[in-house]
Amino acid sequence: THTLRGASSSQKGSTAFIDYISVGLPICKWWRTALGYQPFSNMSYGIYTQDTLGEMGAYQTSFMGDGGINEVYWGNSFTLFKHFSVGLNASFLFGKYSKMRSVKFEDSYAVNTVISRSNNVKGAYFTIGAQYLVPIKNSRLGFGVTYTPSVKLWSKEEYLITTYLG
């Protein structure tokens, strides 16, 4: 927990959270597997501007966004022969992000506008790869290649435009 103190106020909060979880297991001599959860993307922003427009007076423009997409994955590695292995990862993406923009006038007779958009996203993708390890003295030099086919995600979008006076 933490406490923020100003001249006339204070605020308490906590920043503890789990960012990702991953577990790797040896199944047998030639097969390794891993399961995990991690953030795939994340956004959080707020931009505010103040300006004036002739007789309409002062107005504020806001752009805000937050949310993100998460990934649950299952990875596998198979040693086909000495120093050479192939792998396959299966991932499922899911999450929600929202964006909002608005124009608000100080004049109580002006029309204000708020445009909100949120997306729920989900979909699966796969990655395959190969790796060759070259032994060099007491170390190894690895060469690898991966391929991820194109991914199609499903998204449900909610769009709301609100106009109001005052």
Q: Which residue has the tokens 């609100």?
A: 162
Say if residues 75 and 33 touch (Cβ distance below 8 Å): yes
Using one digit for the tens of pLDDT, what is the confidence trace for 100-122? Answer: 999 998 888 888 999 999 999 99
**Burial classification of residue 129, based on how many CB atoms lie within 10 Å of its CB (0-12 exposed, 13-18 middle, 19 or more buried):** middle
pLDDT in tens, 13-60: 766 667 889 999 999 999 999 999 999 999 999 999 988 877 778 889
- The sign of the torsion formed by the CA atoms of 48, 52, 53, 56 equals positive
